Amino acid sequence: MTHHVLDARRLLCPMPVIRAQNTVARLAPGDTLEVQATDPGALHDIPTWCRVHGHEVLSTANVKGEVRVTLRVTHS
Amino acid sequence: MTLTASPDRNAPRKAVALISGGLDSMLAARVMQDHGISVEGINFYTGFCIEGHTQAIRNQTRERPKRNNALWVAEQLGIKLHLVDVIEEYKNVVINPKHGYGANLNPCLDCKGFMVGKAREWMEANQFDFIVTGEVIGQRPMSQRRDTMPIVARESGAFDRLLRPLCAKLLPPTLPEREGWVDRDRLFDFNGRSRKPQMALAAHYGFTDYAQPAGGCCFLTNAQYSNKLADLWETRGEKRYELEDILLLKVGRHLRPRPHFKLIVARDEGETNFLLGFRQRYTHLQATSHNGPLALIEGNASDDDLELAARLTARFGKGRDATQVTVAITDQAGRTHTRDVSPLTADAIPETWYL
């Protein structure tokens, strides 16, 4: 199980979601991924994508315009 | 031909549905679920999607969060949704459409063929059986006509593995119908621009909250947007664009007071915040004596041009009726100077300046 960080700052939605999706595709079950974004849409869209695909959202935060969503990959 | 199908004859047949986030594709996917088909969605991001990045542009203090409707639809249906970045590949569709443009710079027929073709590639790579779209005959004047639907099926390479459940009864039977994977009798014969049949089917399924985008899901069907894109190509001397170009066309008032420069003026705080992200690559202006929008200059502006741009910027701020407004002008190197200018009056701005 490995922790990964994806820098999706300055990308506009839906690109942070697409980058997160493509990164998760390369990870193993149990791995965690922190997505960093500046588009506020990522705060809603990435958790929705996780629910749709069955991955676990561990935390979400929006601090001074920087969104952070951490998820756990549940399946390959 | 490399079309493949699920190897296990007893396994549920699998369809990939093009999900735009609107009602029609939502219904088409839902109908397939009723037929026992295992459905997954696919959504393509071209850069021209109305769905994309509107969150970043909107006034966050005034408006409720904007959802991604394609993802929302997938969640309502309980299906996976695969988001695909096609920005680079899509350029050729917009710049060189084999079937030409519609009323604006919308290459709808080429676009549909391209997207169904990408879905076909995905279907083959993932061993799905067929493709589903929410197309309705007569719904769109270019891509959704009885005579153009076979073109999409043929040019995409999907052929009879492309099923349009909402109007299937008006079209020749496709492979999923002939093989009995779906029951043709339980498909539909929707035709024309009326939304009533779709709304009735939505009510049947209990869908009460769904997106109804006017003019479709693409900025290229919008006349004003297309005018701005045509202006971009004309002033550039060639049909070429980057993602940043087409994003900026979605934001603000665009005025071209001189052939060699354009001014992009934010219309509200949300757009000002959005344009702030681009300011380091453009000479930009903003009033300092009064509240007002951020404006970007695209092109090479002379000293006289900067004066005019400052007066225009002042025109769209709170100081529009003031005798004098101080405007800060910052060049691409980050050097700022200020000018005291008199705002242009509304009647001093020719309509022809607005793109």
Q: Please state, for a pLDDT cut of 70, what percent of chain B lies above it.
A: 91
Per-residue DSSP letter, B38: E
Q: Tell me which of B144 and B235 has the higher pLDDT.
A: B235
Question: Do B195 and B138 form a contact (C-beta atoms < 8 A)?
Answer: no
Q: Do B60 and A13 touch (CB under 8 A)?
A: no
Q: Letter for the amino acid at A60?
A: T
Per-residue DSSP letter, B249: T
**B56 close contact with A: CB closer than 8 A:** yes
Residue-level pLDDT at B209: 84
- Please determine, for residue B52, whether its predicted confidence score (pLDDT) is greater than 70: no
How would you list the strands of the sheet with A66-72, edge to edge?
A: A3-8, A32-37, A66-72, A56-63
Question: Structure tokens of B14?
Answer: 């699998």
Q: Which pLDDT band, with edges at 50, 70 and 90, does B51 fall under?
A: low
Q: Tell me which of B1 and A76 has the higher pLDDT.
A: A76
Task: Name the interface residues of A facing B (CB cutoff 8 Å).
Answer: 10, 12-15, 17-18, 21, 39-41, 43-45, 48-49, 51-53
Q: Which pLDDT band, with edges at 50, 70 and 90, does B2 fall under?
A: very low
- Please determine, for residue B234, whether its predicted confidence score (pLDDT) is greater than 50: yes
- Please determine, for residue B248, whether its predicted confidence score (pLDDT) is greater than 50: yes
- The CB-based long-range contact list for B193-198 (8 Å cut-off, 24+ gap) reads B193/B138, B193/B139, B195/B23, B197/B166, B198/B23, B198/B24, B198/B27, B198/B136, B198/B166
Tens of pLDDT, residues A5-51: 999 998 888 999 999 999 999 999 999 999 999 888 999 999 999 99
Nearest CA in chain B to A38: B56
Least Cα distance to B306 among B284, B275, B278, B322 occurs for B284
Question: Do B217 and B49 form a contact (C-beta atoms < 8 A)?
Answer: yes
Q: Tell me which of B163 and B10 has the higher pLDDT.
A: B163
Average pLDDT, chain B: 91
Query: What is the Cα–Cα distance from B58 to B144, expressed in whole angstroms?
Result: 32
Active-site entry in A9, A11, A13, A41: A13
Residue-level pLDDT at B55: 52
- Please determine, for residue B1, whether its predicted confidence score (pLDDT) is greater than 50: no
A48 contacts on B by Cβ (under 8 Å): 67-68, 71-72, 75
Q: b/e for B211-222, b at 16 or more Cβ within 10 A?
A: beeeebbbbbbb
B68 contacts on A by Cβ (under 8 Å): 13-14, 17, 41, 44-45, 48
Question: Do B258 and B305 form a contact (C-beta atoms < 8 A)?
Answer: yes
Q: Which pLDDT band, with edges at 50, 70 and 90, does B53 fall under?
A: low
Q: Do A12 and B45 touch (CB under 8 A)?
A: no
B72 contacts on A by Cβ (under 8 Å): 48
pTM of the model: 0.90
Residue-level pLDDT at B319: 97
Q: Tell me which of B295 and B194 has the higher pLDDT.
A: B295
Residue-level pLDDT at B266: 96
Among candidates B66, B82, B247 on the partner chain, residue whose Cβ is nearest the Cβ of A12: B247
- Please determine, for residue B321, whether its predicted confidence score (pLDDT) is greater than 50: yes
**B247 close contact with A: CB closer than 8 A:** yes
Please tell me whether residue A45 adopts helix, strand or coil conformation.
Answer: helix
Least Cα distance to B67 among A51, A27, A66, A46 occurs for A46
A15 contacts on B by Cβ (under 8 Å): 45, 53, 85
Q: b/e for B77-95, b at 16 or more Cβ within 10 A?
A: bebebbbbbeeeebbebbe
- Distance between B48 CA and the closest CA of chain A, angstroms: 12
Radius of gyration of chain A, Cα coordinates, nearest whole angstrom: 11
Q: Tell me which of B297 and B193 has the higher pLDDT.
A: B297
Residue-level pLDDT at B193: 84
Q: Find which of A19, A45, A60 to mutate to test the B interface (most B CBs within 10 Å of its CB).
A: A45
Average pLDDT over residues B189-196: 91
Question: Structure tokens of B282?
Answer: 């453009």
Q: Do B53 and A41 touch (CB under 8 A)?
A: yes
Q: What angle do CA B291, B297, B301 make, to 5 degrees?
A: 120
Average pLDDT over residues B4-11: 62
Annotated catalytic residue A13: yes
In DSSP terms, B14 is beta-bridged to B38
